[in-house]
């Protein structure tokens, strides 16, 4: 009896951009008595169904974008006599779908870290429960991923998680509702263990796949002080101190290592934090800018962000501290007008951000926006192939609408075309080449150019492309681009690399008060 863990995808690129961390974490949660699980990331290569035998246990992780393929894999392996278990955010939100459409025997809701061994035991005994509630495990129980199972030369970036959960409450995001608003921060020791293990294996580019790398802002501390809430002040300061401790330890890692993360814009007001990031070689961060106007920010419950000139100043602050920004913008908000697109494109250039993504407003399950959208539609739901649009992930991709929420002044096609134009302008060859000045060597410039193009192609593939021909052509381009990039991103393995001495408890560079 073997355990299989599958990351479903319709499209396989042969090489991947970022390791799907959950595969390696659940591999670590698999009791050794069952042998090493077989890990299949279908973004690299499709599952070979002949490897699945009667009595095997197949764990499938699904999110909104890959449910159709996930359900197909589940049905087929069930026909082969395997036990089928679903997990991931989509299975957590819609467990019934996995049974109705995906041939599930069981569904794991929430975090799988703790509960996975029980699921395996029960399946092996032939008596699985229907639902397992993994809840939210404490950060001291996060498992270190089994990086020894990584395929050689599979990915450009490895992924390590340092904190789960986000204290904010953006209306388009499900993170704070699923992972919780209380940051669950891992110990420095556990994070460094994984990073060192990855560098030993030749991975020098690492994504810190956190919900929000900056869970405590200076304003949070000031507010707690104003309230005289001593317990809260201590809690916040401890979390902050641990961040600095981690970054200090990271700064002692090999100098060729490069990290990326995701952060809120408030970090721009925290010079000490940005300096620490720079020393830790966290060279890039995805910053959710979302909208460039005050009304737009209010519309997505993100009024802690800045707009206009203040926004440009905040974004430039990151670059001053050597942290490059991948700015994320949303189009299709009810406050957007035709001129918003031009203003956004202009601002992205003025603010000198290094990468950008321009996504079209989509109500994702588990978000406040989705709840409102579903409620507003009530019984008047449009159906496509018999599927209500409020279950759009079950509609074949070619037939899905490009925009779900009606806009007061623009039709979906206008929004799609204008969004496309902004992408094209930002990733135009000359503009990308100019931005490649942020790195020095010719090899690094070439890598920068290729990764910019890859980013553009991969997005066109899943987002705004109108037809399957264009999606197919984007996939092919992306496949070709990943080949040299995986080679460029690899480093010589350092099998003898040791952890920096005394990583836990090192005195951080600078701590508030």
Span interacting with ligand SF4, options 12-20, 141-149, 163-171, 193-201, rule CB under 6 A: 163-171
Among 168, 314, 435, 453, binds ligand SF4 (CB under 6 A): 168
* Shorter beta-carbon distance to ligand SF4: residue 86 or 214: 214
* Shorter beta-carbon distance to ligand SF4: residue 91 or 300: 300
Tally Cβ neighbours within 10 Å of residue 320: 11
Locate 322 and state its tokens.
Answer: 């050597």
Q: Confirm if 508 and 245 have CB atoms less than 8 A apart.
A: yes
Among 29, 52, 150, 170, binds ligand SF4 (CB under 6 A): 170
Least separation, in Å, of the C-beta of 212 and ligand SF4?
A: 5
Which x/- pattern, by CB under 6 A, does the window 419-458 give for ligand SF4? ----------------------------------------
Distance in angstroms (rounded) separating the CA atoms of residues 17 and 200? 19
Least separation, in Å, of the C-beta of 96 and ligand SF4?
A: 26
Span interacting with ligand SF4, options 36-44, 170-178, 408-416, 468-476, rule CB under 6 A: 170-178
The pairing of beta strand 387-388 with beta strand 383-384: antiparallel
Distance in angstroms (rounded) separating the CA atoms of residues 422 and 246? 37
Locate 278 and state its tokens.
Answer: 């720079």
Span interacting with ligand SF4, options 109-117, 171-179, 236-244, 505-513, rule CB under 6 A: 171-179
DSSP label at 19?
-
Least separation, in Å, of the C-beta of 261 and ligand SF4?
A: 12
Least separation, in Å, of the C-beta of 168 and ligand SF4?
A: 4
Q: Does 176 sit near ligand SF4 (CB under 6 A)?
A: yes
* Shorter beta-carbon distance to ligand SF4: residue 119 or 263: 263
Strands (E), 427-507: none
Span interacting with ligand SF4, options 31-39, 162-170, 238-246, 375-383, rule CB under 6 A: 162-170
Name 99's Cβ contacts closer than 8 Å, sequence gap at least 6. Answer: 107, 130
Longest dimension (CA), the chain: 63
Least separation, in Å, of the C-beta of 262 and ligand SF4?
A: 7
Q: Does 166 sit near ligand SF4 (CB under 6 A)?
A: yes
Least separation, in Å, of the C-beta of 219 and ligand SF4?
A: 14
Among 64, 212, 261, 420, binds ligand SF4 (CB under 6 A): 212
Q: Which residue has the tokens 């392996």?
A: 77
Least separation, in Å, of the C-beta of 488 and ligand SF4?
A: 30
The pairing of beta strand 163-164 with beta strand 184-185: antiparallel
Span interacting with ligand SF4, options 15-23, 168-176, 227-235, 364-372, rule CB under 6 A: 168-176
Among 77, 115, 158, 175, binds ligand SF4 (CB under 6 A): 175
Distance in angstroms (rounded) separating the CA atoms of residues 233 and 145? 33
Least separation, in Å, of the C-beta of 39 and ligand SF4?
A: 27
Locate 388 and state its tokens.
Answer: 């209500």
- Alpha carbon separation from 237 to 84, 157, 215, 231, 247 (Å, rounded): 44, 31, 11, 10, 15
Which x/- pattern, by CB under 6 A, does the window 276-305 give for ligand SF4? ------------x-----------------
Q: Does 245 sit near ligand SF4 (CB under 6 A)?
A: no
Among 173, 216, 276, 485, binds ligand SF4 (CB under 6 A): 173
Q: Confirm if 109 and 99 have CB atoms less than 8 A apart.
A: no
- Geometric angle at alpha carbon 23, from 17 and 28, rounded to 5°: 130
Distance in angstroms (rounded) separating the CA atoms of residues 287 and 328? 6
Least separation, in Å, of the C-beta of 264 and ligand SF4?
A: 5
Q: Confirm if 324 and 354 have CB atoms less than 8 A apart.
A: yes
In terms of Cβ atoms closer than 10 Å to its own Cβ (0-12, 13-18, 19+), residue 35 is exposed
Q: Does 162 sit near ligand SF4 (CB under 6 A)?
A: no
Span interacting with ligand SF4, options 165-173, 191-199, 230-238, 395-403, rule CB under 6 A: 165-173
* Shorter beta-carbon distance to ligand SF4: residue 167 or 463: 167
Q: Does 362 sit near ligand SF4 (CB under 6 A)?
A: no
DSSP label at 14?
S
In terms of Cβ atoms closer than 10 Å to its own Cβ (0-12, 13-18, 19+), residue 379 is exposed
For the chain, how big is the Rg over CA atoms in Å?
23
DSSP label at 408?
S
Among 211, 242, 248, 270, binds ligand SF4 (CB under 6 A): 211
Q: Which residues in this chain contact ligand SF4 in the complex, by CB under 6 A?
A: 166, 168-170, 173, 175-176, 211-212, 264, 288
């Amino acid at each position: 009896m073997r355990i299989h863990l599958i990351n479903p995808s319709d499209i396989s690129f042969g090489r991947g951009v970022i390791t799907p961390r959950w595969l390696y974490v659940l591999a670590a949660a698999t009791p050794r008595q069952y042998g090493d699980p077989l890990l299949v990331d279908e973004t690299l290569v499709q599952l070979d169904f002949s490897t699945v035998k009667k009595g095997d246990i197949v764990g499938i992780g699904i999110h909104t974008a890959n449910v159709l393929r996930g359900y197909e894999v589940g049905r087929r392996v069930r026909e082969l006599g395997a036990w089928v278990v679903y997990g991931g955010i989509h299975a957590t939100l819609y467990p019934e779908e996995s049974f109705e459409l995906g041939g599930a025997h069981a569904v794991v809701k929430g975090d799988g870290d703790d509960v996975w061994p029980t699921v395996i035991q029960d399946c092996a005994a032939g008596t699985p429960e229907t639902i397992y509630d993994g809840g939210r495990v404490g950060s001291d129980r996060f498992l270190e991923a089994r990086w020894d199972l990584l395929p050689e030369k599979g990915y450009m970036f490895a992924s390590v998680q340092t904190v789960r959960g986000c204290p904010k409450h953006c209306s388009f995001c499900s993170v704070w509702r699923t992972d919780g608003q209380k940051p669950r921060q891992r110990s420095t020791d556990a994070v460094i263990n994984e990073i060192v293990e990855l560098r030993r294996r030749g991975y020098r580019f690492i994504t810190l796949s956190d919900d929000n790398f900056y869970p405590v802002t200076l304003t949070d501390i000031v507010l707690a002080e104003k309230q005289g809430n001593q317990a809260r002040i201590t809690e916040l300061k401890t979390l902050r101190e641990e961040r600095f401790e981690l970054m200090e330890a990271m700064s002692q890692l090999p100098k060729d290592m490069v990290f990326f993360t995701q952060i809120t814009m408030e970090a721009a007001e925290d010079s000490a934090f940005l300096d620490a990031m720079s020393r830790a070689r966290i060279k890039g961060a995805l910053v959710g800018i979302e909208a460039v106007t005050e009304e737009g920010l209010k519309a997505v419950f993100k009024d802690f962000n800045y707009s206009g000139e203040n926004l440009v100043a905040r974004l430039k602050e990151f670059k001053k501290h050597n942290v490059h920004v991948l700015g994320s913008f949303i189009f299709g908000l009810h406050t957007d007008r035709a001129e918003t697109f031009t203003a956004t494109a202009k601002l992205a250039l003025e603010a000198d951000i290094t990468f950008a993504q321009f996504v079209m407003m989509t109500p994702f399950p588990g978000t406040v926006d989705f709840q409102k959208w579903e409620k507003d539609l009530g019984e008047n739901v449009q159906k496509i192939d018999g599927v209500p649009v409020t279950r759009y992930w079950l509609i074949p991709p070619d037939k899905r609408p490009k925009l779900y929420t009606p806009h007061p002044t623009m039709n979906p096609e206008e929004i799609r075309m204008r969004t496309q134009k902004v992408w094209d302008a930002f990733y135009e060859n000359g503009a990308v080449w100019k931005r490649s000045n942020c790195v020095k060597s010719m090899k690094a410039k070439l890598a920068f150019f290729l990764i910019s193009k890859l980013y553009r192609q991969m997005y066109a593939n899943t987002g705004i492309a109108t037809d399957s021909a264009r999606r197919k052509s984007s996939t092919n381009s992306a496949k070709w681009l990943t080949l040299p990039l995986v080679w460029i991103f690899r480093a010589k393995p350092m099998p003898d690399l040791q952890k920096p001495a005394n990583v836990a408890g090192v005195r951080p560079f600078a701590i508030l008060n």
